[in-house]
Structure 1
Amino acid sequence: MVYKTEISINNKMKKYILFMLMAFVGFTAIAQDTDDDDEDDNNPEACQNKWGSDSVTTAKKLSLFNQYYQEKKYVEAFPYWKYLFDNAPCIQKRITYSGPYIIKKVLREEEYKPRFKGLVDTLLLCHDKRIEFFGQEGYVLGKKADDMAKLSPANREEALAIFSKSLKLQGDKTKYDVPKDYVYAGVKQYKKKELSLDSLFMILDEVTPIIDANIVTYTAAGASVKDSLKGVKWLSTQDAVIGMMKPYLDCDKLEELKKPYYADNKTNVAWLKATVKLLDRGGCDSKAFYLECSEALFTLEPSTDAALSLAKAFGKQGDDTKAVSYYTKAADLAPTDEAKYEIWIKLAKTAKNNKQYSTVRDYARKALAINPNSGEAYILIGDAYAASASSCGTGDLGRGGVYLVAVDKYYKAKNVDPSVAKDAQDQINKYSSYFPGKEDAFFKGINNGDSYSVGCWIGETTTVRTIGG
């Protein structure tokens, strides 16, 4: 009887030890089994027998796997991982989460290269099992598509379909590397003549709104450091995508591809947007077809950005009348005073370049109505006055009188806006040297400190200062 009791106690102890081992093994890696990219959608019903048919062996294998994994000895960890994946795949998230990474490490080893195809199949199955047990379908499909496209090129067409599904599920939550991986796979398929150019552009159309939306979100003013770093990654993605597509973004080819569909889509906002963006990325913004599509889009959906794009495009063509018209529309549609201000300043500079000096002041005054402390606006007015000295210097003090009112504006710029103080002072130094001479003014009955009016389009009154006075 005593002997039987001892056996009973030993069996209980074994069960207790096994239970503690299972608990310990499960706990040691739980902190590292999370995925920061998305929230889990666990499916308890999919994982009904977590420890498999042999819980003791599973516990031993799991302990050894975690030991090697934590030491980053992935090749050594592989045999234990393989047992767990085959027999207890949901024992830990790490089994499916890190399985693809482990297999990629193993595939570099000579001894495993004969098993390449089978291991790749297992790798892809890892992604499926992860979705089955832990959800995150859209996010994981992006990983699966990339692995399939790169490790199993014969199945690249299927990979492209998986990429597309991933983007549809994730939308703007897509991870930054998925769009460039998708385009890369598409370009590879096109080069093999297994994908049409039109289909390649459709891929570009899919990824572009997601890239644009994330750049806007993560590069916005006031973004946190973490978000700003994401913004850098998205900008890098945009550069990579444009770089891969650049050889195919020829304006003639793009027009050949898109123009046959224009008549049927000239009232289709989505099609017009995609086409305008595509042409813009191809450097076709001065082409007649780009302008035709852009104006059609602006008519259907007026916006500041669309008006600015048209203004710049017509400016490149030398059509200043249309350029100014669209700049003015952009200012009217601008959602903020800051945006309106920037447009008025841009228009003032454009008018200055075109030697339309009275118009420079008109636009600069509109900018000042929004920001009375704009030194830049006052400098533009001063420059317009100084440039008009020849045509407006018809008074008693000649050109010198015009330079007086120009310098007044530079002083005003310096006083209201310290950020332009140096530029303003440079202009003051330059044009003060052209002030009227004291003797010339005296012979005309004008002295320092007198009031003096400049006519012409300027119509300003100033205080006389003379050289040598």
Structure 2
Amino acid sequence: MFLFVAVSTVHAQASQECAMKYNLFKQKAITKKYAEAKPDLEYLIANCPKLSVNIYKYGAKVAEKSQDPDLAKRIYETRLVNFPDKGAAKAHSDYATYLINNKLASDAEVFAILQKAYTISPKEMSVKNIFRYFKAVTEQNKDSNPQLVFDTYDDVIESVQEKLDDYNVKIAKLQAKEEAGTIDAKEKKLLNAYTINSTSLGKVEGGLDAMISEIATCERLIPIYSRDFEANKTDGVWLKRAVSRMYNKGCQSDPLFEKLAVAYADVTQSADAFNFVAGIMDRNGDSSGAASMRKKAFDLETDPLKKARLKLREAQGSSGSRARALANEALRYNPNMGKAYLFIASLYAKSANSCGTDEFEKRMVYVAALNKAQKAARVDPGCGAGRYISNYKRNIPSKKLIFQKGLASGSSHKIGCWIGETVRIP
């Protein structure tokens, strides 16, 4: 009995000491007193390694600022032992960044760590490390195993899209509060953080596309998918990715696309698959069947974000006012769908020469396009609106042109033809 009480007392004292050291350490780390925090950190790692994952989150910064690579390694390894399920992918990615920045590891060693992060959760990796990892995979496999490159691309994009969708919903709610004037200081910080993170993640798809543009062409995709179809004709994931990639790369005219899409629909019976089949029916002249198939796909889908994507895909197969109407339908299901605004912007830009009688009127069409692109950037920071905005800004009327027309900046201008929008002269 005496021994039990003594042991319990020792444990209680140790627990109190851990809590005290932890609070001291955390306060010093937060206030950037890294040198003072280091002894407390050493104590916590040695005596209280399971107390809190924050020991390692703050500890990584202490090790970095102390320029102590041995401590950084110990923090990284001890964290994974004691908290293997709490942010492990980010821990791997962050440690890889630390090694790179301090030139402490070879490319092969860094790749091995990034491989661990990717295996757990690509969306928790930093954008730079996603690019770094994917570039290595592409260089190693583009000739010998391009399918592995495509699979890696799809894993990353699907994972990142989930994260972007999550940010999209959160940003929409906070922006509504901001517009209503009911947002508090904490929520403003969250909105800013979500906007920054979404913008950063939004660069992934375009960056990865650029890396595999050499191998993701119809000329290369068609032989690969033709070769592998028989072995994968009942694999819904493989079929979805193959159909999506051929669609995105403009390979729909090849008979293989129809073969893949029909198999995808047969295997998955999904809204996404039926929508692809509807597009094929349209191209084959069966507009009535296509409309029926699209309705089937749309009614089957219950997720409003996915409903919006189906409408946008339909819009992308149309033109002019019909395409805009479909894109606006997409926005009814997801008002923060930046890609729908960008699509409308691109429709306007393509019509610039036909929607004006002189240079001024034609350039004013780009003002309407710019407005849509800027709206896209505001509501959906991860949609990649930046390059559209830059392009449209280069094409709006100059101050000199506005002066020559005898018009005033800020006055309204009605754009003609099918666009029919009133915009402000810049």
Query: 1:294 touches 1:306 (CA, 8 Å); kept in 2?
Result: yes
1:158 aligns to 2:118 (yes or no): no
Query: Normalising by the residue count of structure 1, what TM-score does the alignment of the two structures yield?
Result: 0.47
Query: 1:272 touches 1:297 (CA, 8 Å); kept in 2?
Result: yes
Query: 1:190 touches 1:197 (CA, 8 Å); kept in 2?
Result: no
Report the equivalent of 2:158: 209
> Whole-Å Cα distance in 2 between the matches of residues 232 and 68 of structure 1?
27
- Cα deviation for residue 84 of structure 1 reads 4.7
2:263 equivalent among 284, 290, 296: 296
- Cα deviation for residue 335 of structure 1 reads 2.0
Report the equivalent of 2:96: 148
> Whole-Å Cα distance in 2 between the matches of residues 351 and 197 of structure 1?
34
- Cα deviation for residue 261 of structure 1 reads 0.5
1:184 aligns to 2:138 (yes or no): no
Q: Which has the higher relative contact order, 1 or 2, with Cα contacts under 8 A spaced 6 or more apart?
A: 2
Query: 1:99 touches 1:126 (CA, 8 Å); kept in 2?
Result: yes
> Whole-Å Cα distance in 2 between the matches of residues 24 and 104 of structure 1?
26
> Whole-Å Cα distance in 1 between the matches of residues 170 and 40 of structure 2?
49
> Whole-Å Cα distance in 2 between the matches of residues 86 and 301 of structure 1?
52
Number of aligned residues:
282
> Whole-Å Cα distance in 2 between the matches of residues 71 and 185 of structure 1?
33
> Whole-Å Cα distance in 2 between the matches of residues 84 and 28 of structure 1?
7
Percent identity of paired positions between Structure 1 and Structure 2: 16
- Cα deviation for residue 291 of structure 1 reads 3.6
Equivalent runs, 1:250-261 vs 2, <5 Å: 250-251=216-217, 252-261=219-228
Q: Structure 1 pair 206/332, CA: closer, same or farther in 2 (3 Å)?
A: closer
Query: Which range moves more in the overlay, 19-28 or 75-84?
Result: 19-28
> Whole-Å Cα distance in 2 between the matches of residues 94 and 140 of structure 1?
13
1:73 aligns to 2:37 (yes or no): no
Query: 2:22 touches 2:40 (CA, 8 Å); kept in 1?
Result: no
Report the equivalent of 1:263: 230
RMSD: 4.8
Query: 1:267 touches 1:296 (CA, 8 Å); kept in 2?
Result: yes
Question: Residue 26 of structure 1 aligns to which amino acid in structure 2?
Answer: A
Query: Which range moves more in the overlay, 301-310 or 325-334?
Result: 301-310
SS at structure 2 position matched to 1:321:
coil
Query: 2:131 touches 2:208 (CA, 8 Å); kept in 1?
Result: yes
In our comparison, the structure showing a higher alpha carbon Rg is 1
Equivalent runs, 1:43-58 vs 2, <5 Å: none
Question: Residue 321 of structure 1 aligns to which amino acid in structure 2?
Answer: G
Query: 2:118 touches 2:125 (CA, 8 Å); kept in 1?
Result: no
> Whole-Å Cα distance in 2 between the matches of residues 236 and 70 of structure 1?
25
Query: 2:60 touches 2:72 (CA, 8 Å); kept in 1?
Result: yes
2:19 equivalent among 22, 26, 38: 26
Equivalent runs, 1:120-131 vs 2, <5 Å: 122-131=71-80
Task: For residues 10-60 of structure 1, give each alpha carbon's deviation from its aligned partner in whole angstroms, at most 9, with x where no partner exists.
Answer: xxxxxxxxx999848835855xxxxxxxxxxxxxxxxxxxxxxxxxxxxxx
> Whole-Å Cα distance in 1 between the matches of residues 230 and 153 of structure 2?
22
2:276 equivalent among 280, 298, 309: 309
1:100 aligns to 2:60 (yes or no): yes
Report the equivalent of 2:207: 243
Question: Residue 153 of structure 2 aligns to which amino acid in structure 1?
Answer: L
Q: Structure 1 pair 79/329, CA: closer, same or farther in 2 (3 Å)?
A: same
Q: Structure 1 pair 100/221, CA: closer, same or farther in 2 (3 Å)?
A: closer
Task: For residues 76-130 of structure 1, give each alpha carbon's deviation from its aligned partner in whole angstroms, at most 9, with x where no partner exists.
Answer: 54465346535654566443232222223334xxxx6xxxxxx1x6434423322
Equivalent runs, 1:376-455 vs 2, <5 Å: none
- Cα deviation for residue 197 of structure 1 reads 3.9
Query: 1:180 touches 1:241 (CA, 8 Å); kept in 2?
Result: no
Query: Normalising by the residue count of structure 2, what TM-score does the alignment of the two structures yield?
Result: 0.51
> Whole-Å Cα distance in 2 between the matches of residues 308 and 239 of structure 1?
27
SS at structure 2 position matched to 1:98:
helix
Q: Structure 1 pair 91/239, CA: closer, same or farther in 2 (3 Å)?
A: closer
> Whole-Å Cα distance in 2 between the matches of residues 144 and 27 of structure 1?
29
- Cα deviation for residue 270 of structure 1 reads 1.7
Q: Structure 1 pair 314/256, CA: closer, same or farther in 2 (3 Å)?
A: same
Q: Structure 1 pair 199/182, CA: closer, same or farther in 2 (3 Å)?
A: farther
Q: Any unmatched runs of 5+ in structure 2? A: 1-11, 100-104, 175-186, 323-328, 330-413, 419-426
1:335 aligns to 2:302 (yes or no): no
Equivalent runs, 1:363-382 vs 2, <5 Å: none
Query: 2:22 touches 2:44 (CA, 8 Å); kept in 1?
Result: no
> Whole-Å Cα distance in 2 between the matches of residues 297 and 257 of structure 1?
17
